[in-house]
Amino acid sequence: MKASENEVRSRISPYIHGSFREGSYVNESDLHRIAEALRGYDNVTVSVGKNVLNDGQLDFIISTSSFLSSKKLRYEIRSHGMRKTYYDPLSWIDELEGWDAFLD
């Protein structure tokens, strides 16, 4: 079954938080719920990636592909609404590998 970008947005809307000023984010406890909600769609993939625009925080990326185009939705991953702080400059790599293993 294929999904449009609007269908994906409506399906994940209960898990999206934030305001215009602070941007949209998802809580890390909801990532598995979002992945399960979108698992039935053939053209939707979910992944976790680092974003250089927001101080290297991890983003949850939802890609929706169609016949001639592809759309990406990016949401910052937060823990209970708070930005995660990495004290080790490379600790985000370990967390990224953990989420990739979980989402596969």
Tens of pLDDT, residue by residue over 29-45, are: 999 999 999 999 999 99
Domain layout of the chain by residue ranges: 5-86
Encode pLDDT of 46-57 as tens digits. 988 877 666 667
The answer to whether 64 touches 4, Cβ cutoff 8 Å, is yes
Number of neighbouring beta carbons within 10 Å of residue 10: 11
The predicted model scores a pTM of 0.76
The answer to whether 59 touches 74, Cβ cutoff 8 Å, is yes
Containing H/E element for 32?
Answer: helix 31-38
CA 20 remoteness from chain centre: 18
